[in-house]
Amino acid sequence: MSFRDFLLAVGICVGAVYCLSNLQFPHISPLSQTTTPHTIVQKLIINFVNRAADVSCHGPHSQSGHSSIAVLVVSFIWLYFTGSLFFDVTHYFLHKFSKSRYWILRRIGYLHEVHHLYFNRRLKFNDQYLWQNMICELPLELSCQLFGTWMGYLAAQTFSLAGPGLLSQELFYLVLGFEVIRSLVVAILEGRDSNHQSYSTVVPKDPNSFLVGPEYHALHHIDPSAYISSSFRVFDWFLGTSYTLRSRRIIMVGLSRGLREAMAKELQSKESVNCIRELSYDANHEKFIASLANTDIVIIGSEGASCETTVKIIELFKKHYKARPGTLLLPELWYIDSQTTIPFSPSGERSFNNRSRMYYEADDIIYRHVALSGFPSKFLGPYFAAKVMLWWIRRGSRYIAITNPGLGLWLYFNFFYGVQ
């Protein structure tokens, strides 16, 4: 780390210490000069539990038990959410700064870049950057969370949502204490916390839809331009950074000509894909296997395909898929059902719907189901469908209905609750 980076890191640390020094925690007793870090964390946890007990037992004032707990939970989530959201915004700009042409912005971006050097794209820890991660990244993240939580508290005060019976000052201090304790625990673990786990083969399928877990955050380290959110995915939903197609190999089979052209144009113009190829159902068996073995995402349409043909292609893809050396991402399958026009489909289509639910829940592949009705006009044509489809996929959706609201709602409940 250069002297300039050191000065910037010191500035961040001083700012964090100054903020913490102005916070008042009535239950925390003075610490001696010989106190060890483990003792500090132990005392902070004890005082955090005491404060939580005080808030839950004695506040908010003059409220019933159930109402007090509800207000406590909502207030805690709001304060923690605003803290993480402010860090997400800062996080996004730090990645932009690291690629700036201006020296000062690149230096600021480097404060977070060391975190990606410490836990790299291969999801391996590099101890060479351990202390830079401790000195630069952790104080920066904590400062952003504390400031964002304070902004959330000010927002509650502005709209008269803070005070007796509402968001209390004690709870505000409680959330700040929780964030400090969390950062200290991460520091003691040397940054090897639950959200930073190494995966030897591929990153497992993410079981969460709203919260950020280790699988989701691992994808951010693989592609730092996406998966920005730290605790809640709201920021990625807003920007459309909850998914990436960077360097993915794509094959399209069974799509109508208009939809195939629209998908290819949208993918090539707005996504950094490696290649896009097309296959037809009448291709010979060897060509099918060779093509499926060297692709990452298969987009299958229902045009001119029976249930047996579709299932056969999917099973061939799962069996013969060969990941590129070093890849850590699961293969993907997008099924576009463009024959969805009426609720009561033929028995063959219902049979594939049963299969599709099985693929949706499988752990070895990421399955996305798109229910697509006919195109009633030029405006609501294949290019519109391709844009809407990728808009939802960029926000992590795995079930997408592009049809009228009534049919879309029926198809959604039928897929998740009606399919056996």
Mean pLDDT on 377-389: 82
Global pTM value: 0.82
Tokens of 357: 């639910």
Rounded CA-CA distance 48/180 in Å is 10
Nearest residue to 139 (alpha-carbon basis) of 166, 112, 174, 173? 112
The pLDDT value recorded for residue 249 is: 95
Tokens of 348: 């063959």
The pLDDT value recorded for residue 283 is: 73
CB neighbour burial string for 1-36, b if at least 16 within 10 angstroms, e if fewer: eeeebeebbeebbeebeeeeeeeebeebeeeeeeee
Lowest mean pLDDT among 147-161, 165-179, 293-307: 293-307
Could you tell me the pLDDT band of residue 3, with boundaries at 50, 70 and 90? very low
Cis peptide bond upstream of 405, omega within 30: no
Round the average pLDDT of the chain to a whole number and report it.
84
Query: What stretches of 282-379 adopt beta strand conformation (E)?
Result: 297-301, 332-337, 366-372
pLDDT digits (tens, 9 = 90+) for 78-98: 999 999 999 999 999 999 999
Rounded CA-CA distance 359/352 in Å is 10
Domain boundaries, given as residue ranges, for the chain: 3-239, 249-418
Cα 34 from chain centroid (whole Å)? 41
Rounded CA-CA distance 17/216 in Å is 31
Residue 118: pLDDT above 70? yes
Residue ranges of alpha helices (H) inside 230-340 are 234-239, 257-270, 285-293, 307-320
Mean pLDDT on 121-138: 96
CATH second-level architecture of 249-418? Answer: 3-Layer(aba) Sandwich (3.40)
